[in-house]
Amino acid sequence: MRYKKLKPAIIISVLCILIFPPLKSNAQQAVDKLAQAMTDSLSYLQLTDKQKSDALVLNKTAAASLLQLGQKAKQDTSFKGKALCQQVMAVMKKRNDGLKPMLTPDQQKLYDQHKIETMAELQTKMMTAQLDLTDQQVPQVYQVNLKETGEMMEDVQKVQDSKRKLAKARAAKSLKSDSKDKDEALKKILSQGQYAKYEKNKEAMQAAMKEKMQSQKG
């Protein structure tokens, strides 16, 4: 599979708008612009006109909430960092939960795959910056992240869905195995210095990705 050029996730665009809010005198214009951008980001699903219309209504509600958070962040300097990100993710999760019933089974599969690819891309970007990956290493690391992210998200879902302690324990054990398999694969790609730096930053990166996965639920 040929590695495709990394593209920014919609959440990054949202955060940029929050940090640099549109200079519009009409608040509704700002909401409409962000909502349209969020709807356009779903183009890979090939939505019908009815679905686009319904998604736009949903996105306008989300956009209004996001821009309100942006205004709050401007007025309250203590409302930033993790607190702001958590609020943004809560808004996006609510949007995602509302979007899911609109999709056909095939579209849902595409949507889930897109989430996995977005997570893998984000991990690869973080590792490229932290480990100074070479052009040859980037696509190799992406493939490792893509495989591990898909398996991890599947096991996370199993942990959440398991009602019996034994089933939950098995899923949790599988999660640890996913992480171990990823480390072994990366050892074959990274230099000793890069891998040492990866291990040093792994816990912080895993915490960031766990938070991101929680925002992707639904």
- 60-96 pLDDT, tens digit per residue, is 999 999 888 888 877 877 776 677 777 887 888 899 8
pLDDT tens string 136-172: 999 999 999 998 888 877 766 666 666 666 666 665 6
Give me the mean pLDDT over the 10-24 stretch.
53
Q: With beta carbons less than 8 A apart as the criterion, state whether 82 and 203 touch.
A: no
* pLDDT for residue 138: 95
Lowest mean pLDDT among 92-101, 134-143, 204-213: 204-213
Q: With beta carbons less than 8 A apart as the criterion, state whether 52 and 39 touch.
A: yes
Q: With beta carbons less than 8 A apart as the criterion, state whether 208 and 82 touch.
A: no
* pLDDT for residue 15: 55
Does 198 have pLDDT greater than 60? yes
Side chain identity, residue 95: R
* pLDDT for residue 1: 46
**22 vs 56, more confident:** 56
Residue tagged 């960092």 (tokens): 81
Does 180 have pLDDT greater than 50? yes
Lowest mean pLDDT among 19-28, 69-78, 198-207: 19-28
Give me the chain's average pLDDT, please. Answer: 79
Considering the chain, what percentage of its residues have pLDDT values greater than 70? 69
* pLDDT for residue 21: 53
Does 216 have pLDDT greater than 80? no
* pLDDT for residue 209: 59
Does 23 have pLDDT greater than 50? no
Q: With beta carbons less than 8 A apart as the criterion, state whether 187 and 97 touch.
A: no
* pLDDT for residue 193: 93
Q: What is the DSSP string of 152-198?
A: HHHHHHHHHH--SHHHHHHHHHHHHHHHHHHHHHHHTTS-HHHHHHH
Does 16 have pLDDT greater than 80? no
Whether the predicted model's global pTM rises above the 0.75 cut: no
Side chain identity, residue 90: A
